[in-house]
């Protein structure tokens, strides 16, 4: 098995289904990928084409992408933390249940979820609401695992500290279906200093347990440690910096855990219009050779020209 499991966010569309996502991932020289099964900001979803799904599974087998490393990201408008609007909460719960079914149909085992925002109720109430909702969503013994994402602490986000994440995990009945997604931009913004990543990882292990780490999002951050902002930056161009991110990516204790880039697209003017292009092929190249590329933006533009 390859030690480095690296990929990026890719698109998923209805015409090509999972086949399109696999193709995109391979074009970046990835050996895994993450996608939303529809638009991230809404819950409109169409049915899954099983023929395309089987074709995609074949393509993955042939190209060395192990499907157990592939990740679905739940739409970020799902909010399990706020129960002020009961109808809305119920909608979130039902939608997430369906999303897990879709994920299962695709043969994928991990779904990343933002814990939610308490919107003024306070973290304790938010955590309680999340636990109650997740126990409904995860009531069946078997099925895809939900990876709770560590959040930056923007607004009233819950899950900004390892302790909050641990509290949620402890409340979940089916322990085999709950894990964590560590996001480097988010933990930086939440106040964890990646200058001493060993210490951060030790803390994660002490509070949550490394065996619960199911996925890692690799992003630089536009902001300083503790800024509570959540604005991703391309690798090496932000406040975390390339060397610290490389240390995370190649850390001995994190071998075999899927690592996913969610860095911003590069903009390019085309016929008077501003279009954006994915930087992932070039960023993954930087990662593989462990060398920062200061000309990333230009290389991306030239590649897509």
Q: Supply the angle between the helices 280-289 and 296-304 in degrees, to the nearest 10.
A: 130
233 binds Fe ion (CB under 5 A): no
217 binds Fe ion (CB under 5 A): yes
144: CB partners within 8 A, 6+ apart:
72, 100, 103, 104, 108, 109, 110, 111, 177
Q: Min. distance of Cβ 183 from Zn ion in angstroms?
A: 6
163: CB partners within 8 A, 6+ apart:
207
Distance CA 270, CA 301 (A): 11
CB 74 within 8 A of CB 96: yes
230 binds Zn ion (CB under 5 A): yes
Contact pick of 24, 183, 230, 283 for Fe ion (by CB under 5 A): 183
Task: Give the C-alpha distances (Å, rounded to integers) separating 27 from 30, 48, 67, 252, 285.
Answer: 7, 23, 17, 27, 12
Q: Min. distance of Cβ 218 from Zn ion in angstroms?
A: 12
Instruction: Find which of Fe ion, Zn ion, none residue 230 binds, CB within 5 to 8 Å per kind.
Output: Zn ion
CB 141 within 8 A of CB 105: no
Nearer residue to Zn ion within complex by CB, 99 or 230: 230
Q: Min. distance of Cβ 255 from Zn ion in angstroms?
A: 24
Token pair listed for 177 = 């279906």
Nearer residue to Fe ion within complex by CB, 19 or 244: 244
Q: Min. distance of Cβ 277 from Fe ion in angstroms?
A: 20
Nearer residue to Zn ion within complex by CB, 167 or 230: 230
Closest CA to 181 of 31, 72, 56: 72
- Tell me the window of 87-95, 149-157, 193-201, 250-258 that interacts with Fe ion (CB under 5 A): 149-157
110 binds Fe ion (CB under 5 A): no
Instruction: Find which of Fe ion, Zn ion, none residue 157 binds, CB within 5 to 8 Å per kind.
Output: none
> Residues interacting with Fe ion, by CB under 5 A?
149, 183, 217
> Residues interacting with Zn ion, by CB under 5 A?
230
């Amino acid at each position: 098995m390859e030690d480095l499991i690296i990929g990026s966010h890719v698109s998923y569309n209805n015409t090509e289904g999972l086949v399109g996502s696999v193709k995109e991932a391979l074009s970046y020289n990835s050996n895994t990928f993450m996608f939303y099964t529809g638009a991230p900001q809404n819950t409109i979803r169409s049915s899954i084409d099983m023929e395309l799904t089987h074709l995609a599974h074949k393509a993955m087998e042939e190209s060395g992408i192990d499907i157990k490393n592939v990740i679905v990201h739940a739409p970020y408008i799902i909010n399990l933390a706020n129960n002020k609007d009961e109808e809305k909460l119920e909608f979130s719960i039902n939608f997430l249940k369906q999303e897990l079914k879709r994920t299962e149909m695709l043969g994928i085992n991990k779904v990343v979820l933002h814990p939610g925002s308490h919107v003024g109720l306070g973290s304790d109430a938010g955590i309680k609401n999340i636990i109650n909702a997740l126990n409904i969503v995860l009531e069946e013994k078997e099925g895809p695992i939900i990876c709770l994402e560590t959040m930056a602490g923007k607004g009233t986000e819950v899950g900004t500290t390892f302790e909050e994440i641990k509290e949620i995990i402890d409340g979940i009945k089916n322990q085999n279906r709950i894990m964590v997604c560590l996001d480097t931009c988010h933990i930086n913004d939440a106040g964890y200093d990646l200058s001493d990543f060993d210490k951060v990882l030790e803390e994660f292990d002490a509070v949550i347990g490394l065996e619960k780490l199911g996925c890692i999002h690799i992003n630089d951050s536009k902001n300083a440690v503790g800024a509570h902002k959540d604005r991703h930056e391309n690798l090496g161009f932000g406040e975390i910096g390339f060397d610290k991110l490389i240390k995370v990516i190649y850390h001995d204790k994190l071998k075999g855990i899927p690592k996913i880039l969610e860095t911003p697209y590069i903009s390019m003017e085309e016929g008077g219009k501003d279009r954006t292009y994915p930087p992932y092929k070039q960023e993954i190249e930087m990662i593989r050779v462990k060398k920062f590329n200061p000309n990333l933006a230009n290389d991306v533009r030239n590649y897509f020209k």
